[in-house]
Chain A
Amino acid sequence: MTDSLQASADSSVEPAYDLGEDRPWEDPAPSRGLLEVFRRRYLLKLLVRREISARYSGSFLGLIWSYINPLSQFFIYFAIIGVIFQLHDSIPNFPIHIFSAIIIVHFFTETFNAGTRSIVRNKAIVKKMAVPAEMFPVASMLVSLYHVFPQLVILLVAVLFMGWTPTLSGVLAVAIALTIIMTLGTAMALFFSAANVLFRDFASFVNILTNFVRFGVPMIYSYTMVGDRFGRFADYYVLNPIADAVMLMQHAFWIGTLTEAELNFDDKGQAVDRLPDHLFTLGFTMIGVSLLVLVLAQYVFSKLEKQIPERI
């Protein structure tokens, strides 16, 4: 026996391995779904940390990239839509309007895209270790959430310059918006990550879907325009949870930067809101809807889960 073995043998006192008769029989592959993910929070934390530090490893600018990405998108929309299409004139404080939307859209598309690929990307683990596969889409969502905060900081600095003051309803609106995206993003990531194992086509399909997301929310156009062009169909527009999350963000940041005069305007001089009525009711309803979608996604996931280790 070598010395080092002696040392390691002595320092780890072997516990007594006696099962006794009362130890229950267990299924080695329990399907507790997302609950199992919360039970293994520490592993989740490490996976999230791994993603965050690995995403920009070997890069000189590192975390600064998560500021640069949304900023570049912002400037593109700002220049094309604002300057060329001249939306600056019809939407007051257009940059804030766009940027509060970009944060939500970016959060959702990142979660959706990265989450869809997450299980395939962690092939090495999924194939050989008994880890709940739900862990990976959830981790993708948390990584995307982590990158939301630097963007919020940029937005906060900008609106503070424009005379914005924080309100309680604003804080609530942000919380609701993030909750909707977290829930819905996890649900979509969960469903498509399992589907992507069976057919890699789904990752490409998700790419197309995320394009629709960008234009299905009031980001480069305003909600007022939707009402103007579509009339009563605007009622259906607000059934899109992501659009509601975007408008909640705009309620929190954009509305606060507008002047009295900009808030109420209409060709007949009538007071018209820039955002739908009952925004908070809508928000809470959409949290409920997203939770429902999550339950559904979990159900489908559990059905597909059995095939994951062999099909991956």
Chain B
Amino acid sequence: MAESIRVENVTKEFTLRYHRTFKQVTVALARGRQLSDTFPAVDDVSFTVSQGESIGLMGLNGSGKSTLLKMINGVMRPDHGTVRTRGRIAGLIATGAGFHPQLSGKENIMLNAAILGMSENEIARKYDDIVDFAEIPTKFLQTEVGHYSSGQSARLGFAVAIHVDSEIFLADEVLAVGDKPFKKKCLERMEQVRDSGRTLFYVSHAGGSVKRMCNRVLILEQGRLIFDGDVKEGIKVLKYDDERPEDEEHFDSDEELGADI
């Protein structure tokens, strides 16, 4: 199988600035205190992903999952090492980011889709599908998004993101919003994405949904890749499996649909 993501010795360091203003900096210098400190958010991580694989990226809060995803997505650049991808990248990352509260639903769909890399034709072609998926009444589409309920605008963001054509599909903060039927619909849609042969990269704390969606797990701990392999073993490493017995696993369980923030 062809490779689709190659991450080689990637390190990303963040700088902690303790003192920002002129006054604070002067005081800190006078007292001989440290002005800033760096820490590796992602530390020397390497892996390759073949096309069609579905990867679950797991780890505790602050372990570097989102930073790694941002580097694959091209939002951030690594300090050391290289990230290379083949094919278009899209996904459910920060859905609805850039929604402008004073623009109508329709205008926001178009703007958001364009930010995600859709062309004018592609947007025109998929507009109706997006509206259908978001289940937003037509009369609302002409009103300002600022007047939408938070669930409605979240659904709109979701609907746009999930309709972007791509060979690599990244999913973060998925299923944190929306009501149960909508969450279910999204999960099913993601399964379609996986089954269509696209590479799936899924960040989640919900062991159940990772088990259901993925065939390989990567685990980060304080920026380091500590596990790369089988899903069940990975969940054991994270000790996410002792929360409830295996046989209770069914689709509607909250563990599977769980909020990811």
Contact = CB atoms under 8 A, between A and B. Distances in A.
Interface of A: 1-2, 4-5, 7-9, 11-12, 14-21, 23-30, 40, 42-43, 46-47, 49-50, 53-54, 57-58, 122, 124-125, 127-131, 306, 309-310
Given A12-B129, A20-B2, A25-B86, A130 B74 contact: yes
B227 to A, nearest CB: 24
Which has the most chain B C-beta neighbours within 10 Å: A30, A42, A130? A130
Nearest to A12: B129
Interface string B74-117: 11110000111111010001100110101100010011001111
A27 B189 contact: no
A204 B184 CA distance: 49
Nearest to B111: A46
7 contacts: A11-B132, A17-B196, A19-B86, A28-B71, A29-B75, A40-B117, A130-B73
A130 B70 CA distance: 9
A49 B114 CA distance: 13
Contact of B111 (A11, A19, A50): A50
User: Which of B72, B98, B103 counts the most A-chain CB atoms under 10 A from its CB?
Assistant: B98
Given A15-B196, A17-B87, A40-B117, 16 more contacts: A17-B167, A17-B198, A26-B85, A27-B82, A42-B114, A42-B120, A43-B115, A46-B110, A46-B111, A50-B111, A54-B100, A125-B98, A127-B94, A129-B75, A306-B77, A310-B14
Interface in B45-89: 51-52, 70-77, 82-87, 89
Contacts of B83: 27-29
Contacts of A54: 100, 102-103
Contact of B116 (A7, A127, A129, A306): A129
B181 interface: yes
A10 B73 CA distance: 28
Given A17-B51, A125-B98, A27 B84 contact: yes
Given A8-B133, A46-B114, A1 B188 contact: yes
**Which of A19, A21, A23 is packed against the most chain B CB atoms within 10 Å?**
A19
B26 interface: no
B133 A19 contact: no
Contacts of A11: 128-129, 132
B232 interface: no
B163 A58 contact: no
A118 to B, nearest CB: 13
A231 B197 CA distance: 75
A12 to B, nearest CB: 5
B119 interface: yes
Given A42-B119, A43-B114, A47-B111, A12 B163 contact: yes
B253 interface: no
B32 to A, nearest CB: 24
A296 B257 CA distance: 50
B97 A128 contact: yes
B4 interface: yes
Interface in B147-201: 163, 165, 167, 181, 184-185, 188-189, 192, 196-198
A25 B85 contact: yes
Contacts of A23: 2, 86-87
Nearest to A200: B20
B211 interface: no
B6 interface: yes
The 3 closest A-B pairs by CB, nearest first: A28-B74, A128-B94, A130-B74
A25 B6 contact: yes
Contacts of B19: none
B103 A53 contact: yes
B224 interface: no
Nearest to A129: B115
B93 A128 contact: yes
B73 A124 contact: no
Given A17-B167, A29-B77, A7 B94 contact: no
B230 interface: no
Given A2-B185, A26-B85, A47-B111, A124 B97 contact: yes
A30 B85 CA distance: 11
Contacts of B167: 17, 19
Contacts of A29: 71, 74-77, 83
A14 B196 contact: yes
Q: Choose among B86, B120, B185, B192 the residue with the greatest number of A CB atoms under 10 Å from its CB.
A: B86
A4 B111 contact: no
A7 B128 CA distance: 11
B189 to A, nearest CB: 7
Interface in B125-144: 126, 128-129, 132-133, 135
Contacts of A5: 185, 188-189
B181 A2 contact: yes
Contacts of B82: 27
Contact of B86 (A1, A26, A310): A26
A18 B188 contact: no
A212 B75 CA distance: 37
Q: Which of B75, B111, B135 has the most CB of A within 10 A?
A: B75
